[in-house]
Amino acid sequence: MVLKLKDTYLSDVISSSDYKAIEGDIKKAHDMLYAKSGPGSDFLGWTDLPVNYDKEEFARIQKAAKKIAGLCDIFVVIGIGGSYLGARAAIEFCKGANYNNLKKDTPDIYFTGNDISATNMSELLEICEGRDVCVNVISKSGTTTEPAIAFRIFRELLEKKYGKDGAKDRIFVTTDKCRGKLKELSDAEGYETFVVPDDVGGRYSVLTPVGLLPIAVAGIDIQEMMNGAADARSAYSECDIEKNDCYKYAAIRNILYRQGKSVEFFVSYESSLIMTAEWWKQLYGESEGKEGKGILPASVSFTTDLHSMGQFIQEGSRIMFETVIDLVNVERSVEIPYDEANSDGLNFLAGKDMHDVCRTAFKATAIAHTDGKTPNIILELERRGAYQFGYLVYFFELGCAISGYTLGINPFDQPGVEEYKKNMFALLGKPGADNEARRRELEAKL
């Protein structure tokens, strides 16, 4: 068992007739996906990725990762959205949220180009001082402003430090196979490049070179990750809610949405899963939030957030449900010590492992929240690891596609993200008649 959906806490809100009622819609979504007849069907490359990927490029990624690990102390990964979240989620999922601070024989990895914060950039430049650096810039379009600014800064840094030729050896580019400014620049400068497949959108791209190169640099077995995704692909191929947990997840989400639950919290009890939640939020938010529809994806990390958001989830507006990752096994254990004086009154926990206490907190919370009318979907996850991450990625990607089609939207486009860019370019004075006209309109509103 890698991942198991448990509906133990849903019996009060979902009956067998609810499943029956939605079955037809799930079947339609399945048929559209596999016949490639639904909206966005040009972006279904991710469905076959785990079994159909470029093996030569995969080997080149593994080779580049070894080279990078030998060349640098700090590996700077530049990218935003789908060109950032998957890699960071995988590294923290497999290696822990404290990866950079743990003892290891792989480089520290820093992510930048995912905001326009002068403070973050300046701090990272300071961290890089006196240390050897390699860079992976990732942008499918090759034109996104945030990573483009960061790359300009790091290219200058590397060229000053190592000379143009030395920098060339330390810059790795992941972008479109033939289009975009980044591709043109890479060809002109002779950077090693990796390809973002045409038919895979950003938020579905973690198992392409977008995610795989940084993940491999962290010393994670990317072959195992692909194996996990491939096994999930066969485990979730049958269109039967009873047997297919991924389809059941898509069905439950839509049933709850139709009952008025418009917010879904991704809940985990481990810091190492916080970035997985961020990746999941982008996947579901950008896929489903359109045409005035969609479940708002949110996340909390328990037990930390039980002392903040817990109050709202227990007693606030009854608009949400939770999808809780119950991590069964952990690699590290810490026993709670016995204290003769028992001055803190904690001896009832002495000798117990912290993880067992954590899982008890999970059970107690699931019952409390369910009693408070926040339904809980439980996803029991065997353990953290490369294989399990690949498996989980495929589960959520397929679940998102089926859920999005069931909702009646195109889960593979993101027209809404262009609006802020148009305003920003206009206000920044980017040349062009359209920008100029928009700038005048916007300035009247400022």
Q: Which residues bind ligand PA5 (CB under 6 A)?
A: 80-83, 139-141, 144, 147, 201-203, 286, 414
382 counts as catalytic: no
Going across the sheet that includes 171-175, the strands are 108-112, 74-78, 133-139, 171-175, 192-195
3-state secondary structure 164-207: HHHHHHHEEEEECCCCCHHHHHHHHHCCEEEECCCCCCHHHCCC
- Is 299 in a helix, a strand, or coil? strand
Residue placing its CB nearer to ligand PA5 in the complex, 83 or 186: 83
Cβ atoms of residues 215 and 91 within 8 Å: yes
- Structural tokens at position 316: 């606030």
Q: How far is the CB of 95 from ligand PA5 (least distance, A)?
A: 23
412: helix, strand or coil? coil
Q: CA dist 187 to 152, 190, 193, Å?
A: 16, 5, 9
Three-class DSSP category at 432: coil
Q: Give the Cα separation of 166 and 162 in Å (integer).
A: 5
Report which DSSP code applies to 109: E
Q: What is the 3-state secondary structure (H, E, C) of 324-381?
A: EEEECCCCCCCECCCCCCCCCCCHHHCCCEHHHHHHHHHHHHHHHHHHCCCCEEEEEE
Question: Which CB, 219 or 285, lies closer to ligand PA5?
Answer: 285
Closest by CA position to 40, among listed 423, 419, 420, 407: 407
The catalytically annotated residue of 55, 103, 307, 445 is 307
Closest residue by Cα to residue 155 from 141, 137, 138: 137
Q: What is the CA 150 to chain-centroid distance, rounded?
A: 21
Shortest gap between Cβ of 79 and ligand PA5 (angstroms)? Answer: 6
Residue type, 76: V
Distance from C-alpha of 446 to C-alpha of 443, rounded to nearest angstrom: 5
Give 323's DSSP letter. E
Catalytic residue among 177, 242, 421, 441: 421
Is 315 catalytic? The answer is: no
Nearer to ligand PA5 by C-beta: 406 or 414? 414
Cα–Cα distance for residue pair 377/369, rounded to 1 Å:
11
Amino acid (one-letter) located at 43? F
The helix-helix angle for 222-235 and 55-71 (nearest 10°) equals 140
Residue 301 CB, shortest distance to ligand PA5, in Å, is: 23
To the query of whether residue 286 is one of the catalytic residues in this protein, the response is yes
Buried b / exposed e along 61-81 (16+ C-beta atoms within 10 A):
bbebbebbbebbebbbbbbbb
By CB neighbour count within 10 A (0-12 exposed, 13-18 middle, 19+ buried), where does 19 fall? middle
Widest CA span in the chain: 78
Catalytic residues: 286, 307, 421
